[in-house]
């Protein structure tokens, strides 16, 4: 499915293009399933937000499939292997890449973001970006994991440093990142309060392990104060941004930490500096996950049978319907495209 302009679903059309050839260190992967992300919608509408984006473009970041070819010299992955792909690539030689921070590489490539992605039958990817998929995990299940799971792992463990006994608030608790975070936080021995817009979404968050659900239109700081007997939350995970900023700060305990990993509702906020420093709050930007984060997150997921729900499965030619499912506010779980 090739994007040739910016706009609605009609700017992406089914085309026959040359078969990709794996370059040095790369694999050729037959795509079994590709999950859509909100970034795919943003870049389709335009303007593009990832540097290096150009048209025509093949989107699709979260890919699971079967290896059908290898470049000469690639021995770490054999043909026939079922794999899931880390979409974040770096130049491999800059200071950030050498420090396993390729998400900060100034020349980073993002599969499906600024290089050809998984909304196709075949895709060429670096061999070191491939993680084996266990035999008992369907490719559609595996494709639901990469971006959401690695992002949640990085925020919860590498930045937020969740600890047993913590009380953690997860804003947008029924989103893919939110549902992944809930499972990781519970696995770490902490308590989770999920925030969502509807009773149905709260039910999904509680099914994922949340101990309490709070609707967006409720007084979150008061609900947390009641739930914690006045103590407040040790940590809040927030990828919503401007709309939830005040409630996230207000819910924190003395010395609490706000982990920020998104701004889907707006990028600019105002707050009291005195409130932050007098209460000893820590404002932490989650930033980009590392290659090691990705490998660890997916391994933990597979070993502990952790999953994300699927909101629907669509054929490649039904991509407009898949876009609609992604953009629907009542959708819970990942939207999967099956080439």
Q: What's the pLDDT tens digit per position in 178-190?
A: 999 999 999 999 9
**Per-residue pLDDT at 100:** 86
Asked if residue 330 has pLDDT above 80, the reply is no
Asked if residue 246 has pLDDT above 90, the reply is yes
Q: Which of 147, 157, 214, 208 is CA-nearest to residue 177? A: 147
By three-state DSSP, how is residue 270 classified? Answer: coil
Asked if residue 329 has pLDDT above 80, the reply is no
> Domains in the chain, please, with CATH?
2-144+309-338 (3.90.180.10), 149-285 (3.40.50.720)
**Per-residue pLDDT at 177:** 95
Positions of E strands within the chain = 2-3, 12-13, 26-35, 62-70, 82-85, 88-89, 109-110, 122-126, 130-132, 167-170, 191-196, 212-215, 233-238, 252-260, 282-285, 310-315, 334-338
More confident site: 90 or 315: 315
More confident site: 55 or 92: 55
Q: What mean pLDDT comes out for the span 327-336?
A: 85
**Chain-centre distance for alpha carbon 167:** 22
5, 38, 81, 105 from 55: Cα distances, Å: 7, 19, 31, 22
By three-state DSSP, how is residue 180 classified? Answer: helix
CB atoms within 10 A of CB 11: 15
Asked if residue 244 has pLDDT above 90, the reply is yes
Tokens of 162: 């969740």
Q: Which residues contact 8 (CB under 8 A, 6 or more apart)?
A: 45
**Per-residue pLDDT at 56:** 96
The mean of the pLDDT values for the chain is 94
CB 208 within 8 A of CB 179: yes
CB 213 within 8 A of CB 235: no
Q: What's the pLDDT tens digit per position in 255-289?
A: 999 999 988 888 899 999 999 999 999 999 998 99
More confident site: 219 or 101: 219
CA distance 309 to 144: 8
- 0.85 exceeded by pTM: yes
Q: Which of 238, 194, 242 is CA-nearest to residue 218? A: 194
């Amino acid at each position: 499915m090739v994007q040739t302009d910016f706009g609605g679903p009609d700017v992406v059309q089914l085309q026959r293009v040359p078969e990709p050839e794996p370059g040095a260190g790369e694999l050729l992967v037959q795509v079994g399933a590709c999950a859509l992300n909100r970034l795919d919608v943003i870049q389709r509408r335009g303007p593009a937000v990832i540097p290096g984006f150009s048209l025509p473009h093949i989107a699709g970041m979260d890919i699971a499939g079967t290896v059908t070819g290898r470049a000469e010299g690639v021995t770490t992955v054999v043909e026939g292997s079922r794999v899931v792909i880390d979409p974040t690539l770096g130049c491999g030689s800059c200071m950030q890449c050498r420090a396993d921070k390729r998400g900060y590489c100034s020349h980073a490539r993002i599969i499906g973001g600024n290089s050809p992605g998984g909304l196709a039958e075949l895709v060429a990817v670096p061999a070191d970006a491939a993680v084996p998929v266990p035999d008992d995990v369907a490719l559609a299940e595996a494709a639901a994991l990469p971006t959401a799971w690695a992002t949640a792992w990085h925020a919860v463990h590498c930045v937020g440093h969740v600890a047993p006994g913590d009380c953690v608030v997860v804003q947008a608790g029924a989103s893919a990142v939110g549902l992944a975070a809930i499972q990781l936080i519970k696995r770490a021995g902490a308590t989770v309060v999920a925030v969502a817009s509807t009773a149905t979404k709260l039910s999904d968050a509680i099914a994922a392990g949340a101990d309490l659900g709070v609707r967006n239109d409720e007084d979150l700081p008061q609900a947390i104060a009641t739930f914690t007997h006045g103590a407040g939350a040790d940590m809040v995970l927030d990828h919503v941004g401007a709309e939830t900023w005040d409630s996230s700060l207000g819910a924190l305990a003395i010395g609490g930490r706000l982990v920020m990993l998104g701004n889907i509702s707006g990028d600019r906020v105002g707050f009291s500096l005195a409130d932050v420093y007098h209460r000893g709050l820590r404002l932490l930007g989650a930033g980009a996950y590392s290659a090691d984060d990705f490998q660890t997150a997916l391994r933990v997921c597979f070993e502990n049978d952790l999953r994300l729900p699927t909101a629907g499965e669509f054929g490649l030619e039904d991509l407009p319907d898949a876009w609609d499912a992604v953009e629907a506010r009542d959708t819970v779980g990942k939207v999967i495209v099956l080439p």
